[in-house]
Amino acid sequence: MNPAEWDWQTGKKTVADAGKWRNIFAHVDALYVSPDGETLAAVVQTEDLLFSVCENGRIWESRFDKISCLRFSPDNRAVALVSKEGLWTVAASGNLWANTYEFVWNLHFSAAGKSVIVAAVYQGRYLAVSDGVPWSDGFFSLSHLTVSPDGRSVAAVVQTVPLAAGDLAAFQKGCYTAAVNGRPWDMNFLNVWEMRFSPDGRRLAAQVRSTLYDYTIAVDGQPWAVHFASVWRPRFHPADGSVTAPVRVAGLWTLARDGEIFWDKRFVQLWHHQYTPDGRHIAAIVAPKFGVWTVAVDGRPWALTFNELVTDLAISPDGNRVACVGKTDGRWHVAVDGKPWDGDYDMVWPPVFSPDSRHVAAKVEKNGRFTIVVDGRPLKFEFQKAWEPVFSPDSDKILVKGMDDVNGIYTRRVVALPELSV
């Protein structure tokens, strides 16, 4: 994904008319737009009652019995999970992988978009497939597919021991572990859950449960020496290799690093922590009190709180700003650095920072119409359907992708930010 190569000329471009598609095809499914906004795609049902993908009005040559998932990769390719005669594979821009599987699912991309990864069943065994290359060996089951930022490493929670129905003892001995690129860790656990790779993709940290009651973090197969009443998803420090995770101690949550309590504050809830890019600060979603939600930076909660939820935490590229989505009394809000934007919405999508960290934008919905809000001000355009905005690399413009009317004409707009302030 390199937005520098995208078209950043200000102005409006009509890309596709999905309304017309509906006249051509028996069925048009959900619409997807490429990150650069240049392509609109949908799964369509052709005359022969088979399925294909329509990109900007052009249909892939291949026809399929089923298409279960269509997404754009970060490098703007339409990728779908497709099935013919009961066998499944991946089609990227219409090109099929050579191998087929009994089933594929859980479509993942590397951050740059080059790699496409799925979970698959092959001859009754579960494995991951990266760019068409399956793991050499499969497992009894597989879940929590996780991809390193560069896409070169793929991990999953795998079951290495068969488990008969109702066999409590076998389960409690440990049937699950993590496998990285097909190689399982040495040690089995009762459970392994959501994992995360280190930024360089060489190490893997996971939540594990070693008895019914003992939770901890395992890094590259080695659990921390201490255990906790529960843990949430761990994260690697961007530089120094340490691992932090929310842990539950004496009924409350705090952050632990490499097995030791790291924050002195305790929370009713603490999760989804993130580092600033330099690794010097950590922001997290917390509940300082029961039913009271906010963001804490280095353990210090904002004064602003929400009574229903906080989600979609975002940290600016310079590490100085934090944004989130919050909900109070059924209304959705955006807050940046502890201050709420004026509007309240029916739904808010994750806020995004501009590369220079000065601006924040979010897609919002109100009364069934969508718009983009930048720094708290809604754009003048309203859409019947919109996609999430992208800032230009110089942070001066914003790419707005939306469908203006019910007819289904999709337009791509590049808007200069100074225009927004008037």
Residues that bind other proteins (CB under 8 A): 26-27, 29-30, 66, 68-69, 102-103, 105-106, 119, 121, 126, 141-143, 159, 165-169, 171, 175-176, 190-191, 193, 209, 212-213, 215, 229-230, 248, 250-251, 268-269, 271, 287, 290-291, 293, 307-309, 311, 327, 330, 346-347, 349, 365
> Least separation, in Å, of the C-beta of 291 and other proteins?
3
CA atoms of 280 and 121, how far apart (whole Å): 42
> Least separation, in Å, of the C-beta of 422 and other proteins?
30
Closer residue to other proteins (CB): 251 or 418: 251
Query: In whole angstroms, how far apart are CA 135 and each of 156, 183, 196?
Result: 11, 9, 19
Closer residue to other proteins (CB): 272 or 397: 272
CA atoms of 408 and 422, how far apart (whole Å): 29
Q: What is the dihedral of CA 384, 385, 388, 391, to 10 degrees?
A: -50
Closer residue to other proteins (CB): 75 or 388: 388
CA atoms of 136 and 133, how far apart (whole Å): 9
Closer residue to other proteins (CB): 77 or 272: 272
Closer residue to other proteins (CB): 167 or 200: 167
> Least separation, in Å, of the C-beta of 269 and other proteins?
4
**Of 145, 143, 133, 63, whose CA–CA distance to 101 is shortest?**
133
E strands of 204-290, at which residues?
204-209, 215-219, 222-223, 235-236, 243-249, 252-257, 260-261, 269-275, 282-289
- Identify the three-state secondary structure at position 416: strand
Closer residue to other proteins (CB): 249 or 317: 249
Contact 284, 274 (CB under 8 A): yes
Q: Where are the alpha helices (DSSP H) in 116-249?
A: 168-173
Closer residue to other proteins (CB): 37 or 199: 37
CA atoms of 151 and 114, how far apart (whole Å): 8
> Least separation, in Å, of the C-beta of 280 and other proteins?
27
> Least separation, in Å, of the C-beta of 232 and other proteins?
8
Closer residue to other proteins (CB): 199 or 408: 408
CA atoms of 412 and 410, how far apart (whole Å): 7
CA atoms of 17 and 7, how far apart (whole Å): 20
Indicate left, alpha or beta for 28 from its phi (over 0: left) and psi (-120 to 50: alpha): beta
Query: In whole angstroms, how far apart are CA 82 and each of 22, 105, 132, 134, 177?
Result: 21, 10, 13, 17, 29
Q: Where are the alpha helices (DSSP H) in 130-190?
A: 168-173
> Least separation, in Å, of the C-beta of 95 and other proteins?
23
For the CA atoms of the chain, what is the radius of gyration? Answer: 23
Closer residue to other proteins (CB): 275 or 383: 383
Closer residue to other proteins (CB): 93 or 106: 106
> Least separation, in Å, of the C-beta of 288 and other proteins?
10
> Least separation, in Å, of the C-beta of 41 and other proteins?
15
CA atoms of 140 and 163, how far apart (whole Å): 9
> Least separation, in Å, of the C-beta of 309 and other proteins?
4
Closer residue to other proteins (CB): 213 or 339: 213
> Least separation, in Å, of the C-beta of 266 and other proteins?
12
> Least separation, in Å, of the C-beta of 253 and other proteins?
9
Sign of CA dihedral 234, 197, 156, 116: positive
CA atoms of 325 and 281, how far apart (whole Å): 20
